[in-house]
Structure 1
Amino acid sequence: MTSSPDPSEPTLGGAPESDVRPSVLEQMGGVSGLIYSTVPIVVFVPVNSAWGLTAAIVAALIAALAVFVIRLLRREPLNPAISGLIGVAICVFIAYRTGDAKGYFLFGIWTTLAYAIVFVGSILVRWPLVGVIWNLISGEGMDWRRHRKTLRAYDLATAFWALVFAARYLTQSELYDHGSTGWLAVSRIAMGWPLTALAVLATVLLVRRASKEEDRIVADEQSDPEVAETDTGRH
């Protein structure tokens, strides 16, 4: 007979099982969640071209609901599924109110602009959002802000996300102004999960570098606080 594992014992990754938390990508619904988010768009545009806006709205809602049910049956995280369903509902409502298929993309365009502004603003006030979000998820607290090099790494990661959002806004707003609904769909997908995956990868690399730097600084502080003082600063 085998005994049940002790929750206080470390897992294969070296951390206690109770301390294992979802990664940033998992918080966003994982790779499958990023791909799922494109399904309503892939459905909306061709249905609009073939049967008109009303049919496209219904088809997009059905697709979003189907994705929600699939995620529910597969016991996947519900928060991304719920937010995705609400997002599609908002998009089709705007398309209905504007009477134009390109209105489906308007909410996403303005959302990316808002994200870009917020991320840049967080850098300016010395609270880079990537650092805040990452450490809230990991439960590490906010001591990382004491270390200039660590703060700089989070600044770079946050700036990378801001560039992604800004690129999406500039590209898609231009296409929206020209009424290019088909190309809006293409750019939404092409600049959606592939760029998000790239931003997550860049974040992970920068955060790992920041964590190693922070561990080194903490070790220096414990061994000789005066030597480590040049690497730290309060903001």
Structure 2
Amino acid sequence: MAQTTNDPAGGDPGDPAPQITETTDEKAPSILEQMGGVSGLIYSTVPIVVFVPVNAVWGLTAAMIAAIAVAVLIFCVRLWRREPLNPAISGLIGVAICVFIAHRTGDAKGYFLFGIWTTLAYAIVFVLSIVVRWPLIGVAWNLISGEGMAWRKHRKTLIAYDIATAFWALVFAARYITQSELYDHGSTGWLAVARLAMGWPLTALAVLATVLLVRRATRQEDLIESGVTPDDPDRARLPAD
């Protein structure tokens, strides 16, 4: 009596063919990566470092030309290195806007005006997002990771994102207050120092605080979904009655 075996390659023709599903584990880009990474933060400071000394030596027109030339050079370098395009394009557009405002105002300090008002707008938007219970850090983080908006159902997770968003709002508010005061006093050199000192160092600090808060919020979500309260994680290890 012949025996039949369940061989996937030679099975019953009436059986459905085995389906192979391939899963790809693509790591979601971090907030810092979305901003262009560490190199992107450094690139953003180069036009300012060039603009101020050139303005002091050769005047505003030469400074504007130098800033645009450096921005275009950085854009080409990022294209050549095949780095993300969005930060490169936004950086070039940002420098162009700053140069345009400096040209219209006829003063070197006008180069910093766009950044000053932008930080104020960011601070207001971030605070409003907390008020309406849609903290922007939570929205952005979960959109990047593709995890949806289920986090809003967990109170402690929502609070963690509120705190992270508030931290970013404080960073933007501090930049606005400091730089607007220097702008009013016409301190172009100190404006550049403040822009650099309060630029990527504060951004790195805000990113670190965000990562720590988000990781804590994620752990709390995992505990809740597993039926364990965050205040009593040992319950998961108790034997069933």
Give TM class, smaller chain.
0.7 to 0.9
Indicate the residue corresponding to 1:181 in structure 2.
188
- Measured after TM superposition, the shift of residue 75 of structure 1 is 0.7
Structure scoring higher RCO (CA < 8 A, sep ≥ 6) equals 1
Indicate the residue corresponding to 2:232 in structure 1.
none
Indicate the residue corresponding to 2:5 in structure 1.
none
Aligned equivalents of 1:95, 1:196: Cα separation in 2:
25
Residue in structure 2 matching 1:138, options 131, 134, 145: 145
What secondary structure sits across from 1:76 in the alignment? coil
Residue in structure 2 matching 1:46, options 30, 38, 53: 53
1:178-208, Cα deviation, whole Å (9 max, x unpaired):
0000000000000000000110010000000
- Measured after TM superposition, the shift of residue 58 of structure 1 is 0.1
Indicate the residue corresponding to 1:198 in structure 2.
205
Unaligned runs of 5+ in 1: 1-5, 10-15, 222-235
- Measured after TM superposition, the shift of residue 8 of structure 1 is 3.7
- Measured after TM superposition, the shift of residue 37 of structure 1 is 0.1
- Measured after TM superposition, the shift of residue 22 of structure 1 is 1.1
TM-score, length basis structure 2:
0.85
Residue in structure 2 matching 1:36, options 43, 46, 61: 43
- Measured after TM superposition, the shift of residue 20 of structure 1 is 1.7
Residue in structure 2 matching 1:210, options 208, 213, 217: 217
Q: Percent same amino acid at aligned positions?
A: 79
1:5-58, Cα deviation, whole Å (9 max, x unpaired):
x9946xxxxxx43x3221111000000100100000000000000000000000
Q: Would you tell me which structure has more helix in proportion to its own residues?
A: 1
Indicate the residue corresponding to 1:123 in structure 2.
130
- Measured after TM superposition, the shift of residue 218 of structure 1 is 1.1
CA RMSD after TM alignment = 1.5
Indicate the residue corresponding to 2:70 in structure 1.
63
Aligned equivalents of 1:105, 1:71: Cα separation in 2:
24
Aligned equivalents of 1:83, 1:177: Cα separation in 2:
27
2:206 alignment partner AA: A
CA 202–7 in structure 1, closer or farther in 2 if over 3 Å, else same:
farther
Q: Does 1:105 align with 2:112?
A: yes
Aligned equivalents of 1:134, 1:178: Cα separation in 2:
38
Residue in structure 1 matching 2:162, options 155, 158, 161: 155
1:195 alignment partner AA: L
Aligned equivalents of 2:177, 2:21: Cα separation in 1:
49
- Runs of 4+ aligned residues of structure 1 deviating over 4 Å after TM superposition are none
Unaligned runs of 5+ in 2: 1-19, 229-241
Aligned equivalents of 2:40, 2:21: Cα separation in 1:
30
Work out which of the two has the higher radius of gyration on C-alpha atoms and give 1 or 2.
2
